[in-house]
A and B are shown apart, each in its own frame.
Chain A
Amino acid sequence: MLRRMKLGKYVPGNSLIHRLDPRTKLLGGLIVVTAILVNYNWPVLLLNAGLIFMVIFLSEINLPSVLRGIKWLWIIFIFSFLAQCVYTQGNPLFSLGPLTVTIEGVYRGLATFLRLLILFLSSTILTMTTSPMKMAGGLEALFAPLTRLRVPVNQFAMLVTISLRFIPTLIEEAETVTKAQKSRGAPFASPKKLVRLKTLLAVLIPLVAGSLQRATDLAVAMESRCYTGGPHHSRTKNLRFGRRDLAALAITAAVSILPLLYIYCAALPVQSLQNLR
């Protein structure tokens, strides 16, 4: 059951996107997401969607497998589309009983759908092409300026790295313990809620006990290799922000930010005119 948790799982590869610096991908993702959240004009959405599909193509990850990961998210997509169609005021397109679908509604519905899709795809492609270790390194490097404000960025990054590292281990262990308790007749499928809850405890308690033990062991192992919580010299040096990163960020900025600037600058005089009136 747990093996099916595949959404956004890192897929090792050596494509252009895989090789980009994690900081580039994090920043790029942030730019795209901000752009579509700030503004939902057609040109902005289409440009960003185009950019994302381009990235997917370049990452050599097969698109159907990404889209299959959406599964139940489609329900949210369709529901929000339908809600927008019906609840937006404007020129009626057609009526279904008491519900009136408006042209503006369809437009906003489609826009919402696209925004959600871009949000989903950009985060998925980020995690699918960036190994957890690189991701943690990238986050650490991006938040590094906060160390001046006495934010313990290094410790935070270590925290993220460790938790990412142990997710697969925990999943595996949960599977084994579940099977072991099933072999002793644990009633996982009991019709009584209370019984099911107690059965769940039979899996959770060994998991927590195991994690605590592992945390203790890990702490000792880290201390014996002189970890004191300071900056992490070995890892950040592995990050290299090269020419291709610069190009990638430039393209992202051109596609995502320029249209926004254009729209807002063009809108300025109109607004001031209206204010004058």
Chain B
Amino acid sequence: MPVIEINNLSYAYNGGTPDEKKVLDNITLSVEKGEFLGIIGANGSGKSTLIQHFNGLLYPQSGSISVLGFDTRDKHYGSQLWKYVGMVFQFPEQQIFEATVYDELAYGLSNMELDRAEIEVRVDEALANVGLVPEQVRAVSPLCLSGGMRRRIAIASILAMKPDILVLDEPMAGLDPEGCAHILAAIKRYRQEQDVTVIMVSHYINELIVLSDRVALLDNGRLRAWGPARELLARDDLPNYDLLLPDYLKLLHNLKKRGLKVKTGVLTVEEAAGEIGRVLERIKC
């Protein structure tokens, strides 16, 4: 059963004025329960606008979207949606405002009106999940921590709310490899423990395609392709969409363009190496 169903969704900023800008154009998409959906696309392709429809921050101007079986425009339901759909914004460390790490993580939880004991348990759990030691950081002021640590705390503050659907907008942008690894590990761990749906927007395509069950490709507000990562990567028009493709995919696409019969639907460097080896063998024969 799909947890998110989008039908012919369109959205424009400054609607009705001369500087109207259409950012989403007739998008139809659905996300299954427990699925990992990756969303890729160039800057300004409408990714961030799309995901803000998932927890009712934006409402469709035309078309419809239902989340967990309800229309987001439903008055009673829409205002409660944040409890079920956790949204990690781009550079989430910007939203930190409490004096201690504990309070920061407890903010969403106390808005959910959980009791103290439950909050304490969840805070520690979430901190451990993002690779921090609860006893060390709980009482620290978040502003004293490094950027990467603050990012992990901001993500933990969403994870602590145990959302059924976790939405992440570029969670690894601007982090060093170690920071990226921590965040990826936290997402994987959360998925295993909770059996939740994860939707992730990212420029790090090589990380994303390995994790994703399906990938959606946005370009200028339109959904150009949507399906299993392998199928999507096999498309010949992929290099036309200003994506930051990993080098091995670029190489395979270029080889194919030059007339070699290679499969471009590979996920990792190893697979790409195998594919190239196979083609070389064939040429020798």
Contact = CB atoms under 8 A, between A and B. Distances in A.
Contact of B158 (A179, A184, A206): A184
Contact of B108 (A179, A185, A203): A185
B55 interface: yes
Interface centre among B90, B92, B96 (most CB of A within 10 A): B96
Interface string A196-215: 00000111011001100000
Q: How large is the interface on B (under 10, 10 to 19, 20 to 34, 35 or more residues)?
A: 20 to 34
B52 interface: yes
B95 interface: yes
A275 interface: no
Given A179-B89, A206-B94, A185 B143 contact: no
Contacts of A210: 94
Contact of B82 (A173, A177, A183): A183
B119 to A, nearest CB: 13
B57 interface: yes
B97 A180 contact: no
B161 A184 contact: yes
B111 A183 contact: no
A186 interface: yes
Nearest to A208: B97
A173 B89 CA distance: 12
B89 A184 contact: no
Interface in B237-255: none
A181 B55 CA distance: 12
A181 B96 CA distance: 9
Interface string A109-144: 000000000000000000000000000000000000
B82 A206 contact: no
A182 interface: yes
A14 to B, nearest CB: 16
Contacts of A184: 82, 95, 107-108, 111, 157-158, 161
A176 B94 contact: yes
A184 B107 CA distance: 7
B78 to A, nearest CB: 11
Contacts of B24: none
A179 B57 contact: yes
For the residues of A in contact with B, the DSSP-based class is helix
Given A185-B108, A206-B96, A179 B52 contact: yes
Given A179-B57, A184-B157, A184-B161, A202 B97 contact: yes
Contacts of B161: 184
Contacts of A177: 94-95
A210 B108 CA distance: 21
Contacts of B218: none
Interface string A152-178: 000000000000000000000100110
B86 interface: yes
B94 A183 contact: no
Contacts of B89: 176, 179-180, 183
A8 interface: no
A3 B13 CA distance: 10
A173 B91 CA distance: 11
Given A173-B94, A177-B95, 12 more contacts: A179-B87, A180-B87, A182-B82, A183-B57, A183-B85, A183-B86, A183-B87, A184-B107, A203-B97, A205-B97, A206-B94, A206-B96
* 8 closest A-B pairs by CB: A185-B111, A184-B108, A205-B97, A183-B87, A180-B95, A180-B89, A185-B82, A202-B97
27 contacts: A3-B14, A176-B89, A176-B90, A176-B94, A177-B94, A177-B95, A179-B52, A180-B87, A180-B92, A180-B94, A181-B95, A182-B57, A183-B82, A183-B87, A184-B95, A184-B157, A184-B161, A185-B82, A185-B83, A186-B107, A187-B111, A201-B97, A202-B97, A203-B97, A205-B97, A206-B95, A209-B97
